[in-house]
Amino acid sequence: MSAAAPVVTGIGIAAPNGLGTARYWTATRAGESGIGPVTRFDAARYPSRLAGEVPGFDAADHLPTRLLPQTDHMTRLALVAAEEALADAAVDPAEPGEPGSGDLDDPGARGVVTASSAGGFEFGQRELEMLWSRGSEHVSAYQSFAWFYAVNTGQISIRHGLKGPGGVLVTDQAGGLDAIAEARRQLRRRSRLIVSGGVDGAICPWGWAAQLTGGRLCTGDDPATAYLPFDERAAGHVPAEGGAILVLEDAAAARSRAAPRVYGEIAGYAAGFDPRPGTGRGPTLRRVIESALRDAAMRPADIGAVFADAAAVPGLDGEETAAIAAVFGERAVPVTAPKTMLGRMYAGAAALDVATALLTIRDGIIPPTINVRPARRHPIDIVLGAPRPAPVRAAAVIARGHGGFNSVLVVRAAGTAPPGPGTEPARGTHHARQAV
Amino acid sequence: MPDRPFELHDLRRILRESAGIDESADLGGETLDTEFDALGIDSVALMETASRISREHGVQLDDEELTTSTTARRLMEMVNERRR
Amino acid sequence: MSRRVAIVGMGVVAPGAIGVKEFWSLLQEGRTATREITLFDPAPFRSRVAAEIDFDPAAHGLSPQEIRRMDRAAQLAVTATREAMAGCGPVLDSLDPARLGVTVGTAVGATMGLDREYRVVSDDGRLSLVDHSYAVPHLYGYFVPSSFATEVAWVCGAEGPVAVVSTGCTSGLDAVGHAAELIREGTADVMIAGATDAPISPITAACFDAIRATTPRNDEPERASRPFDRTRNGFVLGEGAAVFVLADLEWARARGAEVQGEVAGFGQRCNAFHMTGLRPDGAEMSKAIDDAMDEARVDPEEIDYVNAHGSGTKQNDRHETAAFKLSLGEHAYRVPVSSIKSMIGHSLGAIGSLEIAASVLAIRHDVVPPTANLEEPDPECDLDYVPKTARDWRTDTVLTVGSGFGGFQSAMVLTGTDGTR
Model confidence pLDDT, tens digit, residues A14-37: 999 999 999 999 999 999 999 999
pLDDT attached to residue A435: 31
C 220-259: CB under 8 A from B: 233
> Who among A168, A210, A404 is closest to C167 (CB)?
A168
> Has residue A65 got a pLDDT over 50?
yes
Secondary structure of residue C262 in the 3-state scheme:
strand
In chain A, which residues have their Cβ closer than 8 Å to the Cβ of B54?
Answer: 137
Q: Please, is A376 exposed, middle or buried when counting C-beta atoms within 10 Å of its C-beta (0-12, 13-18, 19+)?
A: exposed
Residue C266 lies in a domain: yes
B 22-81: CB under 8 A from A: 22, 40-41, 44-45, 47-48, 51, 54-55
Single out the catalytic residue among C88, C156, C178, C309.
C309
Give the separation between CA B79 and CA B65, rounded to whole angstroms. 11
Residue C195 lies in a domain: yes
pLDDT attached to residue A105: 55
Could you tell me what percent of chain C has a pLDDT over 70?
99
pLDDT attached to residue A96: 46
Count of H-run helices and E-run strands, chain A: 14, 16
Cβ separation of A143 and C207 shorter than 8 Å?
A: yes
Q: How many domains does chain B have?
A: 1
Contact (CB, 8 A) for B72 and B27: yes
pLDDT attached to residue A429: 37
In chain A, which residues have their Cβ closer than 8 Å to the Cβ of C115?
Answer: 128
> Has residue C192 got a pLDDT over 70?
yes
Q: Cα dihedral angle (A391, A265, C100, A323), rounded to 10 degrees?
A: 10
> Who among A132, A168, A210 is closest to C166 (CB)?
A168
> Who among B44, B47, B63 is closest to C275 (CB)?
B44
Q: Cα dihedral angle (C99, A400, A151, C325), rounded to 10 degrees?
A: -10
Residue C39 lies in a domain: yes
Cβ separation of B54 and A137 shorter than 8 Å?
A: yes
Give one DSSP letter per residue of A246-278, joined into a string: EEEE-HHHHHHTT-S---EEEEEEEEEEPPPTT
> How many contacts does A have with B, using Cβ atoms within 8 A?
37
Average pLDDT over residues C130-157: 97
Q: Is C169 noted as a catalytic residue in this protein? A: yes
Average pLDDT over residues A220-230: 96
Cβ separation of A172 and C213 shorter than 8 Å?
A: no
Model confidence pLDDT, tens digit, residues C231-263: 999 999 999 999 999 999 999 999 999 999 999
pLDDT band at A93; cut points 50, 70, 90: low
Residue B1 lies in a domain: no
Could you tell me what percent of chain B has a pLDDT over 90?
29
In chain A, which residues have their Cβ closer than 8 Å to the Cβ of C291?
Answer: 190
> Has residue A428 got a pLDDT over 50?
no
Model confidence pLDDT, tens digit, residues A172-221: 999 999 999 999 999 998 899 999 999 999 999 999 999 999 999 999 89
Model confidence pLDDT, tens digit, residues A246-292: 999 999 999 999 999 999 999 999 999 999 999 999 999 999 999 99
Closest chain B C-alpha to A41 CA, distance in angstroms: 22
> Has residue A169 got a pLDDT over 90?
yes
CATH 3.40.47.10 at A266-423, yes or no: yes
Average pLDDT over residues C24-40: 98
Closest chain A C-alpha to B84 CA, distance in angstroms: 23
Instruction: Please report, for the domain that includes residue B14, its CATH number.
Output: 1.10.1200.10
> Has residue B30 got a pLDDT over 70?
yes
Instruction: Please report, for the domain that includes residue C392, its CATH number.
Output: 3.40.47.10
Give the separation between CA A165 and CA A163, rounded to whole angstroms. 7
Query: What is chain A's mean pLDDT, rounded?
Result: 92
pLDDT band at A99; cut points 50, 70, 90: very low
pLDDT attached to residue B24: 62
Cβ separation of B42 and C211 shorter than 8 Å?
A: no
Average pLDDT over residues B52-69: 86
Contact (CB, 8 A) for C188 and C100: yes
Cβ separation of B63 and C212 shorter than 8 Å?
A: yes
pLDDT band at B22; cut points 50, 70, 90: confident
pLDDT attached to residue A78: 98
Cβ separation of A140 and B21 shorter than 8 Å?
A: no
Cβ separation of C276 and B63 shorter than 8 Å?
A: no
Give the separation between CA C161 and CA C120, rounded to whole angstroms. 35
pLDDT band at B5; cut points 50, 70, 90: confident
pLDDT attached to residue A98: 41
Q: Which CATH architecture has domain A7-264?
A: 3-Layer(aba) Sandwich (3.40)
In chain B, which residues have their Cβ closer than 8 Å to the Cβ of C274?
Answer: 42-43
Cβ separation of A141 and B22 shorter than 8 Å?
A: no
Nearest chain A residue (CA) to B39: A66
Model confidence pLDDT, tens digit, residues A123-145: 999 999 999 999 999 999 999 99
Cβ separation of B20 and A140 shorter than 8 Å?
A: no
Residue C219 lies in a domain: yes
| Residues linked to residue A273 through DSSP beta bridges, in sequence order | A405
For A109-123, A228-242, B3-17, C152-166, which range has the lowest pLDDT when averaged over its residues?
B3-17
Model confidence pLDDT, tens digit, residues C70-113: 999 999 999 999 999 999 989 998 899 999 999 999 999 999 99
pLDDT attached to residue A419: 65
What residue spans in chain A does CATH classification 3.40.47.10 cover?
A: 7-264, 266-423
In chain B, which residues have their Cβ closer than 8 Å to the Cβ of A65?
Answer: 16, 20-22
> Who among B42, B47, B63 is closest to C210 (CB)?
B47
pLDDT band at A436; cut points 50, 70, 90: very low
Report angle CA C366, C368, C374 to the nearest 5 degrees: 165
The dihedral of CA C83, C84, C88, C92: what is its sign? negative
Residue C278 lies in domain: 5-110+145-415
Give one DSSP letter per residue of B28-44, joined into a string: SGGGGGSBGGGGT--HH
Residue C11 lies in a domain: yes
Residue B70 lies in domain: 8-83
ipTM: 0.97
> Has residue A423 got a pLDDT over 60?
no
Strands A264-273 and A405-412: antiparallel
> Has residue A43 got a pLDDT over 60?
yes
Give the separation between CA A412 and CA A189, rounded to whole angstroms. 22
In chain A, which residues have their Cβ closer than 8 Å to the Cβ of C206?
Answer: 127, 131, 136-137, 139, 143
